Amino acid sequence: MSVLTKVLGDPNAREVKRHLEWVADANELEPLMEKLTADELKAKTAELRQRLAQGEGLDDVLVEAFAVVREAARRSIGLRPFDVQLVGGIVLHQGKIAEMKTGEGKTLVAVLPLYLNALEGKGAHLITVNDYLARRDAGWNAPIYQALGMSVAVIGHEMSLLYDPDYLDETHPDPRLQHLRPITRGEAYQADITYGTNSEFGFDYLRDNMAVDLTQCVQRGLNFAIVDEVDSILIDEARTPLIISGQAQESTEKYYQYARLIPRLSLEDYTVDEKTKSASLTEDGIAKVERWTGIKNVYELEHVDEAHQINQALKAYTLFKRDRDYLVKDGEVIIVDEFTGRQQPGRRWADGLHQAVEAKEGVKVQQETQTLATITYQNYFRLYTKLAGMTGTAVTEAEEFDKIYKLQVVVVPTHKPMIRADNADLIYKTEDAKFKAVADEIQETAGTGRPVLVGTVSVEKSERLARLLEKRGVPHEVLNAKQHEREALIVAKAGQAGAVTIATNMAGRGTDIVLGEGVAKAGGLHIVGTERHESRRIDNQLRGRSGRQGDPGSSRFFLALDDDLMRIFGGERIKNMMNMLRVGDDEPIESRLVSKQIESAQTKVEGHNFDARRYLVEYDDVMNKQREIIYGERRKVLEGVALRDLVLSWVRKVIEDAVSERCESRHPDNWDIEGLVGQLGTVFPLPPFGEIPSDEFGETKEAVIDRLMQYAETAYQAKEAELTEPMMRQVEQFVVLKTIDSRWISYLTMMEHFKEGIGLRAFGQKDPLVEYKNEAFQAFQELLNDIQFEIASNMYRVQVRAEPPVPTPPPAVLTGRSRQAGIAGPAAVAGAGSPNGGGSPAPVPAGKIGRNDPCWCGSGKKYKKCHGR
């Protein structure tokens, strides 16, 4: 405890004490609530909403709302929230993070602030880590909401569901989840309370901002959200942006070629840095690759794609290991989440890395993708008016929560005292000796009737330990990425007498391990850690599975000097010390020095990871402002803003820019009117220069602009007459959306590549972030100008042709954190030829267009420089 805390008192304790005063008020209302009939209790919701409508705030109705929920929970699901759970609910309502230990009932705690904030009628979201937990939590708590007249829905990857007591799905094994009726995604967001996963909410936001019609949008305003397992979502996954992507038309053959070349290199041909997870060729390696590929200088600008693919092949070969970082299943490379050990089907590493791993494993290489829409979790969750979170482990990351999300962490007291015994680490010289000791510990502890939960860092290590136990005849269950389907079932049985469960990292998180009969007397659940994680928080999560709600329990970590963390961060020094002390391979040591060194290494890694996430959010903040502008303009278009005047204002700007360029001189005789007419004639129909009277444009620039604008408006009216006014309004919307989308997609790709190389500016004594901000500002201004010019010129080119109706394609199957999608749009609109040429339609793409062929839109540019970007 710091001196400041001793003098001023613990601020966390003071906050909890304040909340307990509100809890005492809620407790006084309990006898009154118990006397209400079911209808009277349900009517409380309308009464509270009426008070809000009359000007009271949520804090004014909090005490009564919490008392109402507590009574509804007691009647409908047989659980009465404890006082400390009400404290947790108040913390969440205030937009803070509640740290609550495992087994303290976070699922029930969330109901209190969700109900309170849903009273405003703006929706409340509960965001969790996977579909199973979202569906389970919604289904288990739905009777509480139902008793209070509120609707609750779930958005899932495959379907959306609404709790309906009159609906019965007898095929579901859990009776509590049999009343969830399939509905549309839009209906799920209209429910008072909506449960779902972080990726589903995030991707729905991106899809809404790619929609070509307002009816395709599903989300309403982002009002209040509680993020369950907040450390996992806002910290562990924060560096992985949400990406919706489409396929790029590039050959995949070179990935196989480079995957065959890299293993031929010797160790001196490349360097690998496991701390930063990077790999690069040495000069000898570059020379060999150039000789083998026939490329004269692989790092010249014209070979930038080849250099990138070679580097990704090197990373795939040196840094990414099968059964640790990914699995190969049914001819596909499936990523394994490094924090939870869960499979991430559909998620793909970006920037060609996934293709490099596929080529390395000899499976089919899928084409690289082009980013259509992207946002980081940091920026998505900061869109909510009020954000809260809950987890068992948040204090170690309190600084990051505060600096990035402006979220304060409050530790909520446990209902019963924690009595788990956390034993000192045992350090062995080798991994073989460590695993032998782990197997001894498991066999000995399980033999006393106590259950054992073993945490490993990878699928490979969990299977190695499983084989060791098999040889000894010790019954066990393995819970890792390959067993995801049976996850909840395995975890549910992990607390039975003598049960041995091997779990990869925190697989199974979110499901309580309940002790079986007689287990508490035997000493409770014993936790065995087989390696320290690079984050103290993950170690604490593993320990936290034991000792729930005052249960007895214990934990111990077993380490080896060749563990990744020890090897990367100074294990050699400890090894020399052990050799000097003549410690045998099978003898463990317990050392304060070693424990301090491990903690120091973890602190270093945590600091490095925090810097990386802060670096990401600082750069993405630049794109975030720009994203908000683009998405804001798109939304106005979808909501039916009058586009005619807007388009004509952009036409006027095109004219003004052209006049500024061609009429620089103060003397009208020196103006390039012929060049001006020729230039603008590519945008809207103008008579040939020779047919325009010499005094047509007057003596001032304003007069020239006004006369040219008359030509533009006349041509626009002619186009309206040709298409009819209702059709013209549809065409305006289509052209504006299509242009914004295509240019934005190209811009995202350009800025991604630009960000990759911006770090090199530091060699020129320049701050890369400042340079990025300056150049991004300039690039965005150019983007806006390009969008306006392209819309202005395309509006005069469009032709409408009748086509047979095209059946609506089924929605894309979107999974993981990187998703494939297309942007749909009205098929009836096609580009036209030169506006001067009398309106012959431009060719519409049929089959594949070569990158160097003229673009189909009639712009005169190559396809790769126009719509192929």
Which of 746, 718, 734 minimizes the C-alpha distance to 830? 734
| Number of domains present in the structure of the chain | 4
Could you tell me if 720 and 698 lie in one domain?
yes
d(CA 369, CA 817): 13
What distances in angstroms separate CA 355 from CA 255, 257, 278, 281, 334, one per listed residue? 7, 12, 17, 19, 12
Let me know if residue 620 belongs to a domain. no
Which of 649, 688, 685, 681 minimizes the C-alpha distance to 662? 681
The whole-number average pLDDT for the span 519-548 is: 87
Q: What is the model's pLDDT at position 94?
A: 96
* Cβ atoms of 72 and 41 closer than 8 Å: yes
Could you tell me if 482 and 541 lie in one domain?
yes
The percent helix, strand, coil of the chain (3-state, each to 5) is 55, 15, 35
Could you tell me if 599 and 662 lie in one domain?
no
* Cβ atoms of 638 and 726 closer than 8 Å: no
| Across 347-361, 425-439, 495-509, least confident range | 495-509
The whole-number average pLDDT for the span 781-795 is: 89
Let me know if residue 698 belongs to a domain. yes
The whole-number average pLDDT for the span 154-180 is: 90
d(CA 757, CA 595): 39
**Could you tell me the CATH number of the domain that includes residue 296?**
3.90.1440.10
Q: What is the model's pLDDT at position 77?
A: 94
Range of the domain at 725: 625-865
Let me know if residue 306 belongs to a domain. yes
Could you tell me if 340 and 426 lie in one domain?
no
**Could you tell me the CATH number of the domain that includes residue 857?**
1.10.3060.10
d(CA 457, CA 552): 25
* Cβ atoms of 169 and 154 closer than 8 Å: no
Would you place residue 90 in the very low, low, confident or very high pLDDT band (cuts 50, 70, 90)? Answer: very high
* Higher per-residue pLDDT: 803 or 129: 129
Would you place residue 868 in the very low, low, confident or very high pLDDT band (cuts 50, 70, 90)? Answer: low
Query: Cβ atoms within 10 A of the Cβ of 866, count?
Result: 18
* Higher per-residue pLDDT: 396 or 135: 135
pLDDT tens string 398-434: 888 988 888 999 999 888 888 889 888 888 888 899 9
Percent of the chain with pLDDT over 90: 40
SS3 832: strand
Could you tell me if 441 and 322 lie in one domain?
no
* Cβ atoms of 512 and 349 closer than 8 Å: no
* Cβ atoms of 558 and 452 closer than 8 Å: no
Would you place residue 754 in the very low, low, confident or very high pLDDT band (cuts 50, 70, 90)? Answer: confident
Let me know if residue 3 belongs to a domain. no
The helix or strand, by DSSP H or E, that contains position 336, with its residue range, turns out to be strand 332-336
Could you tell me if 159 and 293 lie in one domain?
no
Structure-block tokens of residue 515? 């002790």
Let me know if residue 618 belongs to a domain. no
State the Rg of the chain over Cα: 32
Let me know if residue 244 belongs to a domain. no
Query: Cβ atoms within 10 A of the Cβ of 38, count?
Result: 11
CA atoms within 13 A on the CB side of 764: 10
Q: What is the model's pLDDT at position 842?
A: 35
Q: What is the model's pLDDT at position 643?
A: 92
Across 197-211, 368-382, 450-464, the highest mean pLDDT is recorded for 197-211
SS3 693: coil
Could you tell me if 407 and 425 lie in one domain?
no
Strands 160-163 and 180-183: antiparallel
**Could you tell me the CATH number of the domain that includes residue 46?**
3.40.50.300
Would you place residue 383 in the very low, low, confident or very high pLDDT band (cuts 50, 70, 90)? Answer: very high
Could you tell me if 277 and 212 lie in one domain?
no
pLDDT tens string 702-716: 999 999 999 999 999
Which of 126, 191, 132 minimizes the C-alpha distance to 157? 132
pLDDT tens string 198-217: 999 999 999 999 998 899 99
Structure-block tokens of residue 289? 């690759």
Q: What is the model's pLDDT at position 838?
A: 35
Could you tell me if 139 and 202 lie in one domain?
yes
Domain boundary among 609, 642, 674: 609
Domain boundary among 556, 575, 609: 609
Domain boundary among 560, 578, 609: 609
The whole-number average pLDDT for the span 265-278 is: 80
Q: What is the model's pLDDT at position 862?
A: 54
User: SS in 3 state form for 150-216?
Assistant: CCEEEECCCCEEEECCCCCCCCCCCHHHCCEEEECHHHHHHCCEEEEEHHHHHHHHHHHCCCCCHHH
Could you tell me if 308 and 223 lie in one domain?
no
| Across 169-178, 339-348, 636-645, least confident range | 339-348
pLDDT above 90 for 697: no
Would you place residue 821 in the very low, low, confident or very high pLDDT band (cuts 50, 70, 90)? Answer: very low
* Higher per-residue pLDDT: 698 or 96: 96
Q: For the CA atoms of 269, 273, 276, 280, what is the dihedral angle to 10 degrees? A: -10
pLDDT tens string 716-740: 999 999 889 999 999 899 889 989 9
Would you place residue 816 in the very low, low, confident or very high pLDDT band (cuts 50, 70, 90)? Answer: very low
What distances in angstroms separate CA 328 from CA 334, 345, 353, 811, one per listed residue? 6, 11, 15, 27
Which of 143, 227, 153 minimizes the C-alpha distance to 184? 153
d(CA 707, CA 718): 17
Task: Tell me the pLDDT of the chain averaged across its residues.
Answer: 83
The whole-number average pLDDT for the span 456-465 is: 87
Q: What is the model's pLDDT at position 10?
A: 78
Residue 236 DSSP code: I
Could you tell me if 308 and 233 lie in one domain?
no
Let me know if residue 373 belongs to a domain. no
* Higher per-residue pLDDT: 623 or 480: 623
Could you tell me if 600 and 748 lie in one domain?
no
Sign of CA dihedral 81, 83, 86, 92: negative
Let me know if residue 701 belongs to a domain. yes
Looking at the chain, the number of H-run helices and the number of E-run strands are 29, 26
pLDDT above 80 for 194: yes
Q: What is the model's pLDDT at position 505?
A: 67
pLDDT above 50 for 823: no
With tokens 């602030």, the residue in question is 113
